[in-house]
Amino acid sequence: MKLADTLQFASGSLRGNPTRTLLMMLAMSIGVAAVVVLTALGEGARLYVINQFSSLGSNLVIVLPGRTETAGIGPGMMSGQTPREISLDDAQALLRSRAVKRIAPLTIGSSNISRDALNREVVVLGSTSELLEVRHMAMGAGKFLPAGDIRESASVCVLGTKIKQEIFGNAQAVGQWVRLGDRRFRVVGVMSSQGESMGFNTDEIVIVPVASAHQLFNTSGLFRILVEAKSRDYIEQTKKDAEEIMFQRHSGEKDVTVITQDAVVATFDRILTALTMAVGGIAAISLAVAGVLIMNVMLIAVAQRVKEIGLLKALGAPGKQIRMLFFAEAALLSSVGSLAGLVLGYAGSMVIAHIYPSLPVSPPWWAVLAACGTALGTGILFSVWPARRAARLDPVAALAGR
Amino acid sequence: MIELQNVCRTFTVGDQQVAALRDINLRLDASEYISIMGPSGSGKSTLLNLLGLLDRPSSGTYLLDDGNVTDLSDEQQARVRREKIGFVFQSFHLVPRLTAAQNVELPMILAGIPAEERKSRVEVLMQNYGLSARADHRPDQLSGGQRQRVAIARATVMKPSVLLADEPTGNLDRHTGWEVLQLLEGLMERGITLVVVTHDAEIGARAKRQIHMLDGRILSDEREAPNKVPLPQAGEGLG
């Protein structure tokens, strides 16, 4: 029997019982669609997080005060000390490393911004002119913080777009004065809209020189130092140098944590990939269930078509051919079912993408392959038993319908 | 040519051995017309199934066209069935979802014959059997006589050397029964060995060779001049 004829005969017997066939295909396609949609969601979450991180800047090494010991309690905690703060001098010292391209110290606090009667609470970021480059930010109008001495507390500020809108409306903001806490600042620039990144909405902040922020909040420590390495190859060197410099400057105490953005991204990447695979795997269970359904229905089909099988044997079909016919039915069912499932899954992903436009929902190719493979595999695997049962029927008894 | 040597067939029913065929020795020549008669349970259907390779003897040897087919594998037996044996059943056994033409085509599909050749052979046969107008009808749209003619067309499409008919007229009224029988007898002119199992003495009497069975044994094996029962002409009001 030719393959084309086998497939045609199998599809004929599938069409001969449309309700049964449609139900089995429905089960198969729901399984495939579930895998596609769930992995698309997981992959979307992963891409979202990675995008968030890369929008923070590239080749970044971050220095933060305090030591995070992975092995439990740090030395500071034992002696009841709070970690020593990182000073502006520490930040500048980092520039001694030849691996470092530039740094941006960060200090953060919240204050009131007011102009005339308008007044709101705002997050104030203290930094230097370098921040623009390090964090890959873009200006909407005017200029960023002026370069100059890191300790100079110039009374200038840069507004996030939303703040600018709320305080100035559509009026020109650059060159105007605003009040932050008890100090007056001249607006030198407005950021372009960048939206949220890492839970930090740059549209709703005000950036001032780091020294001004220190005065405003009456502190001297830094929240973070963002260090940009000269290139990707220098990231490890930068990290080592930063640790070494801070170690020397803090009189032999390892009381800062240096993390590389790559490591953080890689960790998130691993976690979210594992998560995606886990939900995909759970969805794949529904495919196994569909497989059991196929087996069940196939067994019934064998019982219903006992006479037909007997006839085929009488007409000269060996057991092998009968088996092939049932395999072909299962394969057709699963492949058409998976195709329908793919369509369904992609449609579902598009709906989700429509509802959550910020989530880059797209089913990963490996999940699509795995879903179709599992569907075909379980379909054929679970048809082995019914097919064998059909092939082994005694033709005399089968013809008599027994 | 068919030869059975000392063929026995026993079935196990519960814990009892029941002999359906006891020591059968039989030789059928090419182009013979044989009827096998006997009461139910006499072993005639078992004999037919053995001849058609649907069943295997418990002991003994089966020679078909001088080849021993007793111990062939499932696949080899299927091949012999496909190429040398045609079956006609009492209840027709047409595949309900296939049209008449597709039912006739089925053995050739199983044999892997190319589609164009299948089509032309089906057309010729349907024409010969007066079924052309019904070729695209499904079995449930056909009369009993038409169904059996489709079944005969299917049984002969592979040009077998033996045609085994198990009560071919059993589900038909008398008139169409005669028509079908006429059709079957006409096949002998092409050198087919025709074996008809029946319990109807009138039908059995038409064969040149009549075998009577009882309790798994051949009671009598008579070759006689065919009983001169005239074939009624169509429309003569029989049945």
A230-245 residue pLDDT tens: 888 888 899 899 989 9
Count how many Cα atoms sit within 13 Å of the Cα of residue A310 in the half-sphere of its side chain: 24
Predicted local distance difference test score (pLDDT) of residue B133:
93
Residues of A with CB below 8 A from B49's CB? 396
Q: Do A313 and B54 touch (CB under 8 A)?
A: yes
Crossing angle of helices A306-314/A319-355, nearest 10°? 130
Strand extents, DSSP E, A194-323: 196-197, 200-201, 205-209, 224-229, 256-260
B106-119 mean pLDDT: 94
Q: Are B157 and B101 in contact (CB under 8 A)?
A: no
Instruction: Please indicate if any CB of chain B lies within 8 Å of the CB of A320.
Output: yes
Looking at the complex, report in whole angstroms how far the Cα of residue B117 sits from the nearest Cα belonging to chain A.
14
Q: What is the pLDDT of residues A36-78, one digit of tens each?
A: 998 898 888 888 888 777 777 778 888 888 876 554 444 544 5
Q: Is residue B239 pLDDT above 50, yes or no?
A: no
Q: What is the CATH number of domain B31-44+74-223?
A: 3.40.50.300
Q: What is the pLDDT of residues B138-185, one digit of tens each?
A: 999 999 999 999 999 999 999 999 999 999 998 999 999 999 999 999
Predicted local distance difference test score (pLDDT) of residue B232:
56
- Confidence category of residue B233, pLDDT binned at 50, 70, 90: low
Note the ipTM here.
0.89
pTM comes to 0.71
Share above pLDDT 90 across residues of chain A, in percent, rounded to a whole number: 33
Q: Are A172 and A225 in contact (CB under 8 A)?
A: no
Q: Do A399 and B89 touch (CB under 8 A)?
A: yes
Q: Are B88 and B151 in contact (CB under 8 A)?
A: yes
Calpha distance A172→A195 (Å, rounded): 21
Looking at per-residue pLDDT, the higher value among B193 and A362 belongs to: B193
Taking CA atoms, what residue in B is nearest to A391?
A: B74
Predicted local distance difference test score (pLDDT) of residue A255:
83
Q: Are A100 and A94 in contact (CB under 8 A)?
A: yes
- Confidence category of residue B235, pLDDT binned at 50, 70, 90: very low
Q: Is residue A335 pLDDT above 50, yes or no?
A: yes
Instruction: Please indicate if any CB of chain B lies within 8 Å of the CB of A7.
Output: no
Taking CA atoms, what residue in B is nearest to A308?
A: B95
Q: What is the pLDDT of residues A157-189, one digit of tens each?
A: 999 998 999 999 888 989 999 999 889 999 999
Q: What is the pLDDT of residues B91-100, one digit of tens each?
A: 999 999 999 9
Q: Are A386 and A301 in contact (CB under 8 A)?
A: yes
Q: Is residue B218 pLDDT above 90, yes or no?
A: yes
Q: Where are the domains of chain A?
A: 3-52+266-399, 100-232
Q: Do B107 and A316 touch (CB under 8 A)?
A: yes
- 3-state DSSP assignment of residue A218: coil
Taking CA atoms, what residue in B is nearest to A320?
A: B75
Instruction: Please indicate if any CB of chain A lies within 8 Å of the CB of B118.
Output: no
Q: Do A314 and B158 touch (CB under 8 A)?
A: no
Query: Which of A307, A315, A329, A393 would best serve as a mutation to test chain B binding (most B beta carbons within 10 A)?
Result: A315
Element (H, E) at B60: strand B59-64
Residue B143 has phi, psi (to 5 degrees) of -75, 170
Mean pLDDT score of chain A, rounded to an integer?
86
